[in-house]
Amino acid sequence: MRFWGVRGSIAAPGPATARYGGNTSSIEVRCGGRLFLLDAGTGMRYLGNRLAAEGPLDADLFLTHTHFDHVCGLPFFKPFFQPQNAFRLWAGHLEGGLTLHRVLREFMMAPLFPVPPEVFRARIEYRDFRAGETLTPGSGIVVRTAPLNHPNGATGYRIEYGGKAVCYVTDTEHVPGSPDRNVLGLIAGADVVIYDCMYTDEEHAQLYKGWGHSTWQEGVRLCRAAGAKKLVVFHHDPDHDDDRLDAIGREVASELPDAVLAREGMVLEA
Ligand SMILES: [Zn+2]
Ligand SMILES: [Zn+2]
């Protein structure tokens, strides 16, 4: 997997965030000859520029949810404008009759945006499901899902292939002292867990209860409790600059030596 955007809530470019990167959530996953995209934040534009030169693409995009920072790269993803490509867009958090297609149409609507999703020339299928369902995108790959604790809902994913499991769990808020059973079940024994570590426990307790995000300390606790091997600290607070993230990284390493902080351009193998 390659990380194209690791920042939470809003893009945060600039010299103070250049080392970890300022783009919002976008991850490329390759397994079993397949291409999976996780979320569609601003990092997705760079991924698209790379993929646009690759020839016909057939890929699945799994969206955790449709908050701006996870979809605002969609209209700028060049492969959507290439007719030889096919994409399936998955979302499991929508309720009350909302569909992903409708939400994207309303997101890409004048005067908020000049053109609707119908300008895309690739073949695009919208696949709504309910978080908790298991998806089988083919090639012997199983994608388990679970609902997350986030305003307007969000979906956690676990991609299983060849005896390995990679989990993508953002955006989600924990309740201090009571580990989220949905998350524990999803990440049990996983090789890699990419987790919403936007805040520290101290920041969460003092400032950000109810904002829908978790902490690196909770990521450590969950990975330990679930027997997961590698924590990837993800969805960095836009106000955490590189020096702050270095300091957080040292604390994380003292708890879990195998853990890493996500940074743009990072490549991980499960
Ligand atoms: Zn987010
Ligand atoms: Zn969100």
Q: Look at residues 104, 97, 100 and name the one whose alpha carbon lies nearest to residue 118.
A: 104
What pLDDT score was predicted for residue 139? 87
CA of 171 to the centre of ligand 2 (A): 5
The reported pLDDT for the residue numbered 149 is 98
Distance CA 233, CA 252 (A): 9
Measure 64 CA to ligand 2 centroid, in angstroms.
8
> Distances from the Cα of 140 to the Cαs of 33, 89, 136, 162, 206, in angstroms?
11, 19, 8, 8, 45
Q: Three-class SS of residue 45?
A: helix
Q: Which structure tokens are listed for 155?
A: 């979906």
pLDDT under 50: residue ranges of the chain? none
Give the pLDDT confidence score for residue 116 in this predicted structure: 95
Q: What predicted TM-score, i.e. pTM, was given to this entire model?
A: 0.98
Q: Strand 2-5: give its sheet, edge to edge.
A: 2-5, 26-31, 34-38, 58-63, 86-91, 123-128
CB atoms within 10 A of CB 116: 15
Residues with CB under 5 A from ligand 2 (ion): 67, 171
Quick one: pLDDT at residue 138?
Answer: 86
State the pLDDT at residue 55: 81
Q: How far is the CA of 251 from the centre of ligand 1 (A)?
A: 23
Please write the tens of the pLDDT for every residue from 117-147: 999 999 999 999 999 999 999 889 999 999 9
pLDDT reported for residue 232 = 98
- Distance from Cα 190 to the centre of ligand 2, integer Å: 23
What is the distance in A from the centroid of ligand 2 to the CA of 66?
Answer: 7
